A = this chain, B = another copy of it.
Amino acid sequence: MQFIDGGVCAPQGFRAAGVYAGVKAAAGMTAAEAAKFSEEIRSGKRPAESKSDAALIAADGPCAAAGVFTSNLVKGAPIAVCQTNLQNGRAQAIFANSGNANTCNVDGQDKAWKMAQAAADALGIAADDVLVASTGVIGVPLPIGPLVAAAPALASKLSSHGSLDAATAIMTTDRVPKNLAVEFTVGGRTAHIGGISKGSGMIHPNMCTMLCFLTTDVAIAPSMLDRALRLAVRDSFNMLSVDEDMSTNDTCVILANGRAGNAEITAAGPEFDAFTEALSALCIQLARAMAKDGEGATKLLVCAVAGGKTDKDARTVAKAVICSSLVKTAIFGADANWGRVLCAIGYCGAQVDVHQVDVDFVSKGGRLAVCRNGAGIPFDEALGKQVLQEDEITVEVTLHDGSAAATAFGCDLTYDYVKINGDYRT
């Protein structure tokens, strides 16, 4: 298995595109005003914003499809459309916008269905084969006009090199697009999985994270696709936190068109394992990229836990460490303040013998052992700075309670997180 270019268009038979529809600019306009505004941008009468805000991913034919969604009781309106359209395990396109979450609005459902219909009309497919997603501010009515108007433009722009455009169009406070693909072998065939994702703040998924759109040319039955997706999400997006705020719109969907030509995967076995392994590897890389691009982040913070009593204990410890505001600020300040790691382990609710815990900080700068058997050991502050000034820091925690392991992905907490979120909406 190797990482390759191409994102969601790396698998055969998928195309993607992104455009500036004008969702952000149009907020507060009537549908007619918004459509006119967007048309003026597209025709060049009005200078386009640098940032696109509408993305389309389309397969050349019907696909097996699966999705996992936020467990927040407050759910974005697009999620209901996805859940309905995934009931038959089939879909063919994904239409998404940034700039507005279409959540907590009285007319949200109606507009989410209008999005699906607009993409379906532009592509000449059925509306129930379209998945939709929205991300951005909550509680502001979605300007549907610009999105309906953008659908034909998106359809005509679809390209097998359009993944980066689509990844860029779903960004909100993200600084970099997340656009990845893997190539691997399954059932003797060369196959691919591609993915784009977005997410920078309000990231603490419990079923899935923010927006992630995956494509594959593997032939796989919808039920097995769903199972593989849940396994991959468990070890990737569900181990990711930027700020412990679980979004209302977390959506992770996958389309599989079977073009790789492998015998359809319909049960567990080596082919299913190969697919799940590749999918997990891709999702973990996307999760790492999202953590490193967390709002205001300067560093990727990884917590690798070993020696846990149970998988659940190891996961709980790993997430508690990367969620602790005090650990996150210490990492920002390159301060080897390991007592905060112990403190987080102590309050997280996992079954841990705190008198057996070992902690090391590890990076390209070296390894700093700071705690053995739950107590501090002398260390070289200069080495500490050297280790902690790198931009990817792993906190290695060994519990000595068993053999379970888990890894979680987060980021430091910085001035810029406060700045970004102190004036996001207005």
Interfacial residues, chain A to chain B (CB-CB below 8 A): 71-75, 101, 103-106, 137-141, 201-202, 204, 206, 243-248, 323-326, 329-330, 332-333, 335-340, 342-347, 352, 354, 370-371, 374-376, 381, 413-415, 417-426
Contacts and interface: CB of A to CB of B under 8 A. Distances in A.
6 contacts: A74-B347, A104-B376, A139-B342, A202-B343, A204-B347, A330-B424
Contacts of A344: 245
A132 to B, nearest CB: 19
Contact of A422 (B140, B206, B324, B335): B335
Contacts of A206: 347
A415 to B, nearest CB: 5
A73 B354 contact: yes
A72 B420 CA distance: 32
Rank and list the top 10 A-B pairs by shortest CB-CB distance, nearest first: A138-B339, A333-B422, A74-B346, A329-B421, A139-B376, A139-B339, A246-B347, A72-B346, A73-B346, A243-B325
Contacts of A422: 329-330, 332-333, 335
B335 A423 contact: yes
A70 B124 CA distance: 62
B140 A343 contact: no
A245 B324 contact: yes
Nearest to A372: B106
Contact of A333 (B201, B339, B343, B423): B423
A326 B342 CA distance: 26
B333 A139 contact: no
B418 A371 contact: no
A72 B345 CA distance: 9
A337 B244 contact: no
Nearest to A246: B347
A208 B354 CA distance: 21
B374 A343 contact: no
B424 A335 contact: yes
A375 B109 CA distance: 13
A245 B381 contact: no
A417 B329 contact: yes
Nearest to A414: B418
Given A139-B376, A330-B422, A333-B422, A342 B104 contact: yes
A177 to B, nearest CB: 23
A125 to B, nearest CB: 32
Contacts of A354: 73-74
Contacts of A138: 337, 339-340, 342-343
B104 A375 contact: yes
